[in-house]
């Protein structure tokens, strides 16, 4: 089951950027189908653009944070925070390509309170800065 989720997440990470651009109007389903975790993924989808944490997700779905962490990791191979970050990165990539908003505006639009943390997360996931990503993808 974990391999199914890893494959699902990997396909999103490797999807063509044309599909990412469509994601603002027609979201790409990045979350794996799993009735046990549907509420978790629905909460993340509905709230990724706000400052949310593992505790917020746990409260929303009625689990304690430790149990939710174990449940999601056991079923997907990834943490709740990984899923939140991946959803935010999907939106950030789309905004970088579709808009001329500055990076600090994009960081706030996808739920990061601090631009510096957004930069670090973006570089961790993509290996380049948001500005470099925008420049290379637009040229």
Parse the chain into domains and list their residue ranges: 2-138
CA distance 109 to 40: 21
The residue that leads in pLDDT, 33 or 37, is 37
Q: What is the pLDDT of residues 82-106, one digit of tens each?
A: 999 999 999 999 999 999 999 999 9
Per-residue 3-state assignment (H helix, E strand, C coil) for 26-60: CCCCCCCCCCCCHHHHHHHHHHCCCCCCHHHHHHH
Instruction: From 128, 40, 38, 56, select the one nearest 92 (Cα to Cα).
Output: 128
Would the pLDDT of 32 be above 70?
A: yes
Considering the entire predicted model, what is its pTM? Answer: 0.79
Q: Inform me whether the pLDDT recorded for 15 exceeds 70.
A: no
Residue 42, number of CB atoms within 10 A of its CB: 13
Topology annotation, domain 2-138 = Arc Repressor Mutant, subunit A (1.10.10)
Residue 13 CB neighbour total at 10 angstroms: 13
What does the pLDDT read at residue 19? 42
pLDDT of residue 36: 82
């Amino acid at each position: 089951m974990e391999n199914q989720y890893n494959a699902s997440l990997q396909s999103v990470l490797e999807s063509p950027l044309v599909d990412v651009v469509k994601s603002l109007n027609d979201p790409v389903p990045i979350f794996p189908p799993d009735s046990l975790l549907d509420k978790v993924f629905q909460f993340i989808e509905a709230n990724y653009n706000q400052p949310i944490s593992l505790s917020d997700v746990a409260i929303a779905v009625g689990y304690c944070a430790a149990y939710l962490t174990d449940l999601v990791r056991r079923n997907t191979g990834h943490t709740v925070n990984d899923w939140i970050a991946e959803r935010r990165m999907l939106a950030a990539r789309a905004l970088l390509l579709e808009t001329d908003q500055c990076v600090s505006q994009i960081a706030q639009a996808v739920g990061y309170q601090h631009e510096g943390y957004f930069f670090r997360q973006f570089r961790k996931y993509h290996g380049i800065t948001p500005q470099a990503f925008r420049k290379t993808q637009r040229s």
